[in-house]
Amino acid sequence: MNHLTEERLCEALKLGEIKAFDALYYIYHKKLFAFVYKFLKNWHDTEDLVQKVFVIIWEKRRNINPEKSFNSYLFTIARNEVYDWLKKKALTEYCDAYLLGDITQDDENIETKKIVEIVYSLIKKIPERRRQIFLLNREEGLSYKQIAVKLNISENTVDTQIRNSLNFLRKELPKYLKAAVLLFITKFI
């Protein structure tokens, strides 16, 4: 890449010249796309993230230092975005794994303690009937059929209610857990 030209392009971009932005886009968008796709492995998500990165480039154009390499600048922004995406994925998958009962509770572990507490407080928010069915399955280990007989409802209803409970937890848990992990007390006075 011709660095002198890129420096000029960055100078023009800094001044808000959209043509310079477009030129830099054409130089780098394929590299960015391929890079992001390596981690997201999904065309649609990759498009969204590539867009987001270029929008940030435009919005923060005044911060660009034309003397420094645009390649590294672009990478830094892309890297942070990809890292955030990976963090989010790790969080969601962990929550899912926990809810599907794949993660066994380890009382010594502070993170699992946290998640258990959050799940219990969320379960309290499930409508009573639905919660009852969910807990009969989760806590008392009754099968769908046993629950259906016990409550005199169809197995289909049991299935729907448990599925709804799980969907609710899957949706809410990551949000609560994220806030709980990111917030901390600095010191007691």
Partner 1 sequence: MLSSYYRMKKQNEIIELFEKLISNQATSKEKEELFQLVYNENNKEIVFKWLEENWNTVEYDELNISSKALLNEIHDIIGTENTTRSEKKQGIKLRRTIITTMKYAAAFIVAWLIQWFIYTQPESNVDIAQVSQEVHYNEVNVPIGSKSYIILADSTKIWLNAGATLKYPTNFQENQREVFLTGEAFFDVAKDKQKPFFVNTNGMNIKVLGTQFNVKAYGDENSIETTLIEGAIEILGLKSDQEDESNLVLKPGQKLVLLKDKSVHEVLDATEENSDEKSENKAIPSIRIKQAQVITLQDTEPEVSWKEDKLIFNKEPFRDVKIMLERWYGVNIIVKDSEILDYRFTGTFDKETFDQAMFALQQAARFDYSIKKKTVTIKRN
Question: Where along the sequence are the contacts to partner 1 (CB under 8 A)?
Answer: 18, 21-22, 25-26, 29-31, 33-35, 38-41, 47, 50-51, 54-56, 58-60, 62-63, 75, 78-80, 82-83, 86-87, 89-91, 93-94, 97, 102-103, 111-112, 114, 117-118, 121, 175-176, 179-189
Closest CA to 115 of 182, 184, 174, 171: 174
Residue 113, both tokens: 């303690």
Residue 113 CB, shortest distance to partner 1, in Å, is: 10
Closest to partner 1 by CB, 2 or 63? 63
Residue 36 CB, shortest distance to partner 1, in Å, is: 9
Residue 34 CB, shortest distance to partner 1, in Å, is: 4
Residue 154 CB, shortest distance to partner 1, in Å, is: 31
Q: Using CA atoms, how far apart are residues 181 and 117, in angstroms rounded to an integer?
A: 13
- CA of 135: how far to CAs of 12, 72, 126, 162, 164, in Å? 62, 52, 11, 9, 13
Residue 144 CB, shortest distance to partner 1, in Å, is: 23
Closest to partner 1 by CB, 4 or 183? 183
Closest to partner 1 by CB, 92 or 146? 92
Is residue 65 helix, strand or coil?
A: coil
Closest to partner 1 by CB, 4 or 189? 189
Q: Using CA atoms, how far apart are residues 116 and 160, in angstroms rounded to an integer?
A: 23
CB 122 within 8 A of CB 180: no
Neighbours of 162 (CB within 10 A): 18
